[in-house]
Chains A and B, each alone.
Chain A
């Protein structure tokens, strides 16, 4: 499944998350003629987060396909094209707008295989920018990954690192079922080193991003680096935090989470979704079901405040999970 034919040994290079994602798109378009990208302003405009910039000139309007403002229909058309032999990548400008296409994703993409008794598959990838931090207020900033993760028939992934931005797309395209890929908007400008040979990665397993002994911090997507920052701050206080990046929300790699919690005996979940009915609640429940007797303290959550994301920077930041709140939650658990 994961072809390792990009094995040119070379040094690593500096790259942004955005450029890594673009490389993944370009790679997929070059490798498989069934792949095309479709969405609002993905072409001439270059993508509203500039992810697809330049691809229109390279691949042309057929394969970098600008659509009218009609989320439900171009998402549905992606599903139809997938049913009929193509491998569409459908970009929806932000998760808030994806609600106009929720019908197609939940009622068609996720159900067609089952309703047809296994006769059809829907190999489509939906790319959806998500999350807050750019002062875009309450209709452009939400984190609804947990809603999608609720739905059987979908796979939901959240690349947080450069490796995953570069590598998850191809693997998602090889999956015969619909994959929803969430890209946190605050990650696009993140820059770092990436191996020149970086290629496809698995989309099944959680990853331990930092090893630790005293507490497991479980997160995904845009909250990963805040969580790592919190772990760093805790280390200064002699608290050793392990950080698990879920990477895939559906399926959820509970095994990795439970193994970590069994060792550290404490868990804090960091989730940019609202606390009530959050994905963090699901992770917490899994820990109760699978590691209750290993726990030395109740599971804690650091989530977004229960408010539509406000516009002013200080309020937006106050609403979101922050390293200080993560540190405080851990210390409360440790009785420190």
Chain B
């Protein structure tokens, strides 16, 4: 697990160490994904690749509020979530390559990162498909008397799906321990939020289902973390599901195939002025909490971690074709 895992009910402490930890986590995602973008150009990573760059504050803010026994359900834009959850970067990168050493043994790829060890349950590429799963996982925890939280990440696009509404209703009706994290980056592929939703204040939709909800500046990792901490504390106190809308923005294309015809470069540049990494660094610097050597150290260590991950993936093996039919069933089944 990350060094951000707090003891139960810890209050957020804005110490230098804590903030440096958040900064480091965001940088790890940013640089990892930049490297993934390059590897995609080199055709090392294939298929779909959805970069999270610009949105790092959401995963970094939320993930540190989770305990090892909690569970995470995420989307196809989940590399950052997996890494911050503690899935080794080596195994994540090998999965991006499709190698047998990948965290899903190569069968999932970028959109389907799984790691039972850190209770990371995907990696779901059906928009809103993970919400019912999260509700069911929380139901199981409740029925088994286990005081665990299931954190479920999804985009603004998912809010338009029926499963969103059904899941919020069910979680609220049964008071299940789910943290719904809506990563509202204003676009679902090329469809801007106001072209898809009659009500663009998404947290209001959760409120209608009696789910405690809040919208935060998703470019501000400290704000995200503070809200996520309040909400996970509330869930652990038995308050039922909570809904956190993080208003954020993706700096990159939806996937590697997207020419971004639907938005102006000026809009992207405007949002880049709120870059969560730059913003936290600037804020820390002003407060005298960021020393000159801090960022270079983080960058250097991150680069080493990433290069080790790339080397690991490069050295990884392709599963033999004879194993093609493996892992369809748990027991041997011959259809």
| A interface list, Cβ under 8 A from B | 36, 62, 67-68, 70, 72-86, 88, 103-104, 107-108, 112-121, 152-153, 155, 175-177, 250-252
B residues 144-197 touching A (CB-CB < 8 Å): 144, 162-163, 166-167, 169-170, 173
Instruction: Determine whether B293 belongs to the interface, using a CB cutoff of 8 Å to chain A.
Output: no
29 A–B contact pairs at CB < 8 A?
A36-B143, A68-B170, A72-B132, A73-B131, A73-B132, A77-B132, A77-B135, A79-B133, A79-B136, A80-B138, A85-B140, A103-B163, A104-B129, A104-B132, A108-B126, A112-B114, A112-B122, A114-B327, A115-B114, A116-B116, A117-B104, A117-B105, A117-B106, A117-B107, A118-B330, A120-B116, A120-B121, A155-B333, A175-B330
Q: How large is the interface on B (under 10, 10 to 19, 20 to 34, 35 or more residues)?
A: 35 or more
Given contacts A76-B129, A77-B133, 17 further A-B contacts (CB under 8 A): A72-B163, A78-B136, A80-B134, A80-B138, A81-B140, A81-B143, A82-B136, A84-B140, A86-B140, A108-B126, A113-B327, A116-B108, A117-B105, A117-B107, A119-B114, A119-B116, A175-B330
Chain B hits for A118, CB < 8 A: 105, 326-327, 330
Contact check, A83 vs B166: say whether CB atoms are below 8 A apart: no
Contact check, B129 vs A75: say whether CB atoms are below 8 A apart: no
Contact check, A251 vs B135: say whether CB atoms are below 8 A apart: no
Chain B hits for A116, CB < 8 A: 104, 107-108, 112, 114, 116, 122, 327
Contact partner of B166 (CB less than 8 A), chosen from A36, A73, A155, A252, is A73
| B interface list, Cβ under 8 A from A | 71, 73, 102-108, 112, 114-116, 121-124, 126, 129, 131-141, 143-144, 162-163, 166-167, 169-170, 173, 326-331, 333-335
Contact check, B335 vs A251: say whether CB atoms are below 8 A apart: yes
Chain A hits for B326, CB < 8 A: 118
Contact check, A76 vs B114: say whether CB atoms are below 8 A apart: no
Contact partner of B328 (CB less than 8 A), chosen from A80, A83, A114, is A114
Give the 9 A-B residue pairs with the shortest CB-CB distance, closest first: A76-B132, A80-B136, A117-B105, A77-B136, A73-B166, A116-B114, A70-B166, A84-B140, A176-B330
Contact check, B331 vs A119: say whether CB atoms are below 8 A apart: no
Contact check, B136 vs A84: say whether CB atoms are below 8 A apart: yes
Q: Roughly how many angstroms separate A76 CA and B333 CA in the complex, as a whole number?
A: 24
Contact check, A113 vs B329: say whether CB atoms are below 8 A apart: yes
Contact check, B107 vs A83: say whether CB atoms are below 8 A apart: no
Chain B hits for A103, CB < 8 A: 126, 129, 163
